[in-house]
Structure 1
């Protein structure tokens, strides 16, 4: 057995292992084998690893000193698929991102400033830049506090995250099809990428009210098959190629708000239904709301204050703040800044034990 130093952390509404890049094999195939073994994939229960048997608890952050002059650390997000021998780097994760700043301070990758430390994070998956504000006391991250986010019990110290220039990070353009609205399989959709490729669909077009539980929707085979068909076609139109084995784009069903927010969502990630909504997914949904012609524009109802856009999800809501120029017009829209509040907590630090065979070259175990 080999012991690999790592931290187990909750970031936002997700949970995963945080590694220094230097602790993992440089070879990508070997690295992925090691992470599959660490998490216990492929297995529905991940019983022989530390994964939590759900996409939201089978995630990995790989952190290192940044290769960019405008960032402090590089952050590579990896999704370890639960029931397949697949490790995907095809997307960012804004929830796991919330733990990167505290982890970098814990590991001494940056000099912590008493009070609040700004950590500039290069998101390697898409090349975007985020700035996390981390509370610090006596040189260490503060995890306890009064901030509360839906989908996580209790409270914790706030981590404010600013996303800078992430529009089109994965697809090459904020609206990669060139349209605010497209029609796929006879269904009106909006394809958008403001840090996360997302396809918005009206829940009513699938015979849903939009407030069904994730479990109810997952049992609806007909809906799932229709949405997957649209996802595969949208992937190509969004410059993502064949997405049959990719975790993007996310598919977000939208409907009228039920708790006073801007609109309600149910998001496929991409085959399970999220118990909440991804950080960058919520940013993309909120952005679609400010563009005339998108299927979400009607929910804005003339609102011109974008400092608090509440995106509802199955376990609460997500507050997104945006600095927008030229709202209402696809041709003039410019997103200067997207910001939101997350929390993070260190759950365990130590070593994950992995069988020696995981370090053998592929096919030679």
Structure 2
């Protein structure tokens, strides 16, 4: 008689015991699940278990098929928001980068793309209601202890998300969201140049010594010449991802920079999400991921930024704020490598998805140090769905 195995182990089967209110947003070139802070467990183990289940991590296949994640770092994110008690902020928000394959919850950095949806979430979920019309929400990021001002429009109690603005890496158009990082330098506590040097010498196995710059504005990033690896930054992210020696060398430099910037005691102790590492190069003609031809005279500098050990398909907004600071601070590798740079105008950053325009207001002090007043970027956003997410 054949044995029916379909009911074996049913004693271990249980319905998912919890459901939590959540909203799913696109912000810039990323997506994330949003929660009210009151709905996120205070216990770290319970919180991390919840976030991993929501996103579908850890997943050895790298697809996050059992959750809302999308299998790449820009689609494996969560945020939670609450009303602020600070005098300089209306809301506080925390960002979590969820490891795809390992399920590590990394709170070491902010996400600039998803910062564009914090204000709309706060308005629409009643955390910080405002009347219709032009709005400004002051947001305190708990990861980096920095203030960001979000400027957008409210209509019928909701943030206006439809408009005619295009951003690289996103199909279609949306309403502009202006994000101003106020006093963005020093997320690691050491100013815009964490080591006190505009440039220093790095090395990586198989590639010898080469120059680099560590810049801290909204996020810490170390910049090294693409030419060290025989590259021009015209290469696609997928092409660079397929170069294991280059990716290993970039990770080696990133972990070295973490120690130099005071973010880790040893290279092995460096967090996954911070600092970041980027290849930079003078402008050359290239094709975007959408196949659009970009001329060399359309931008000031080319970048390919690594995110969680893969090359980002565009550029993180916090990464762009760091790049912007590096462009306007004299003597950095970015400042010296950029072409046709006018620091009083838009800064044009060539990335795999197109050209991102930013601004930075920096002033040189009498002692030679730099005061970074603010950096600015524009994003679009969209509320995709809301309801409940089920998890253990």
Does the 8 A contact of 1:214 with 1:274 survive in 2? yes
- The answer (yes or no) to whether the contact 2:324–2:375 under 8 Å persists in 1 is no
Q: Which residue of 2 aligns with 1:238?
A: 261
Deviation larger for 195-204 or 104-113:
104-113
Q: Which residue of 2 aligns with 1:16?
A: 32
Aligned to 2:63: 45
Q: Report deviation, 1:139.
A: 1.7
Secondary structure at 2:380's aligned position in 1? Answer: strand
Secondary structure of the corresponding residue to residue 199 of structure 1: strand
State the shift of 1:332 in Å. 3.5
1:269-299, Cα deviation, whole Å (9 max, x unpaired): 1401000011011111121122332111224
Q: Mean Cα displacement is larger for which, 86-95 or 298-307?
A: 298-307
Structure 1 Cα separation of the partners of residues 191 and 223 of structure 2:
16
Note the 1:94-113 alignment, pairs <5 A. 94-113=112-131
CA contact (8 A) 1:171 1:240 kept: no
SS at match of 2:331: coil
Q: Which of these residues, 117, 126, 145, is aligned with residue 144 of structure 2?
A: 126
The answer for the alignment partner of 1:250 in structure 2 is 276
Describe the SS at the equivalent of 1:68. Answer: coil
Give per-residue Cα distances to partners, 1:293-340, cap 9 Å, x unaligned: 21112244574443300111001121111222129x982322111111
1:163/1:25 CA distance change after superposition, 3 Å: same
Residues 330, 304 of structure 1: CA spacing in aligned structure 2 closer, same or farther, 3 A cutoff? farther
Conservation of the 8 A alpha-carbon contact between 2:363 and 2:372? yes
- Specify the structure having the higher radius of gyration (Cα): 2
Q: For the aligned residues, what is the CA RMSD?
A: 1.6
Q: 1-side partners of 2:271 and 2:159: how far apart? A: 37
Cα distance change on mapping 1:330 and 1:146 into 2, 3 Å? farther
Structure 2 CA distance, aligned partners of 1:24 and 1:229? 35
Q: Are positions 1:140 and 2:158 aligned together?
A: yes
**Unaligned 5+ runs, structure 1:** 356-365
TM-score for the superposition, normalised by structure 2: 0.87
Task: Select which of 75, 81, 104 maps to 2:93.
Answer: 75
1:143-292 matches, within 5 Å, as 143-185=161-203, 186-241=209-264, 242=266, 243-258=269-284, 259=295, 260-292=298-330
Q: Deviations over 1:159-180 (max 9, x none)?
A: 1011101101124221111100
Q: Which residue of 2 aligns with 1:323?
A: 361
Distance 1:83 1:67 in 2: 36
TM-score (norm 1): 0.93
Match of 1:32 in 2: 48
Match of 1:4 in 2: 20
Shift of 1:96: 0.7
Moved over 6 A (4+): none
* 1:358 aligned partner: none
Is the CA contact (8 Å cut-off) linking 2:328 and 2:360 kept in structure 1? Answer: no
- Give unpaired runs (5+ residues) of structure 2: 1-15, 204-208, 285-294
Do the aligned residues in 2 keep the contact of 1:135 with 1:158 (CA within 8 Å)? no
Deviations for 1:182-230, whole angstroms, at most 9, x for unmatched residues?
A: 1011120100101110001110011112110001001101111111111
